[in-house]
Structure 1
Amino acid sequence: MADLSITAANVLPGAGAVTEDGLAGATITAGQAVYRDTDNSYKLADADAASALIRTARGIALNGAAAGQPLKIQKSGEITIGATLTGGTTYYLSGAAGGICPLADVGTGEYFHIVGIAKSTTVMLLALAYSGVSG
């Protein structure tokens, strides 16, 4: 397997969605995992980044935005992620900036950060948890 192939137009908040508004600090596409940088802008989270801040996803982008544009992220609750999921599978932050993948695709040297658990083939329950441990 590989990173989820997300269709941005199909990313939607679901039941119990907790969201947050801010500004993009980079070009971001709906469905990508983001972190909040020290300047309070959102940028793409990355499981193999040198900085723990960048490896700690704060949420999933609900819309696309270029740097300086408004961005809404989802921090918890159910999300229609816009990709085909395997129910019951736990998904992780990937080594590709903003990417989400199953455990089997967390590579050597990448840090384990749970993004969520698939409730169905389309809905994920966000459960953001950074372990601080690399594989």
Structure 2
Amino acid sequence: MADLSITASSVLPGAGAITEDGISGATITAGQAVYKAADGTWALADADSATALARDAKGIALNGASAGQPIKVQKGGELTVNAVLTAGTTYYLSGTAGGICPLADVGTGEYYDIIAIAKSTTNLKLLFGYSGVSA
């Protein structure tokens, strides 16, 4: 398998959504995993980043933005992504900046960072959990 193929226009907050408004520190597309950088902006999380902060995803972008533009991030609750999900499967941050993948695709040297569990074939229950342990 590979990273989830998320249609940006289909990313929608669901039941119990916890969101935060902020400023983008990079070019971000709706549906990508993000972290809060040291300067307070949101940037793309990456499981094999040399920076520990970047390996700890804290949300999913609900809209696209370029650096310096407003962004809304979902930090908890349910999220519709309209990707092909397998209900009951746990999804992790991938080694592709902003990417989300199943456990089987967490590669050597990448850190385990749980993003969500699929509640259905299109909905995720966000459960961010950084392990600090690499594959």
Distance 1:28 1:114 in 2: 20
Secondary structure (helix, strand or coil) at the match of 2:52 reads coil
Write out aligned runs for 1:77-88 (5 A). 77-88=77-88
Distance 2:95 2:119 in 1: 24
Q: Is the 8 A contact 1:85 1:118 kept in 2?
A: yes
Write out aligned runs for 1:25-44 (5 A). 25-44=25-44
Secondary structure (helix, strand or coil) at the match of 1:54 reads helix
Query: Amino acid of the residue matched to residue 3 of structure 2?
Result: D
Write out aligned runs for 1:1-135 (5 A). 1-135=1-135
Deviation readout 1:33-87 (Å, 9 max, x if unpaired): 0001011000000000011100010100000000000000000000002311000
Query: Amino acid of the residue matched to residue 132 of structure 1?
Result: G
Gaps of 5+ in 1: none
Give RMSD over aligned pairs.
0.5
Percent identity (aligned): 72
Gaps of 5+ in 2: none
Report the alpha carbon displacement of residue 10 of structure 1 after superposing the two structures with TM: 0.2
TM-score, normalised by the number of residues in structure 1: 0.99
Query: Amino acid of the residue matched to residue 71 of structure 1?
Result: I
TM-score, normalised by the number of residues in structure 2: 0.99
Secondary structure (helix, strand or coil) at the match of 1:3 reads coil
Moved over 2 A (4+): none
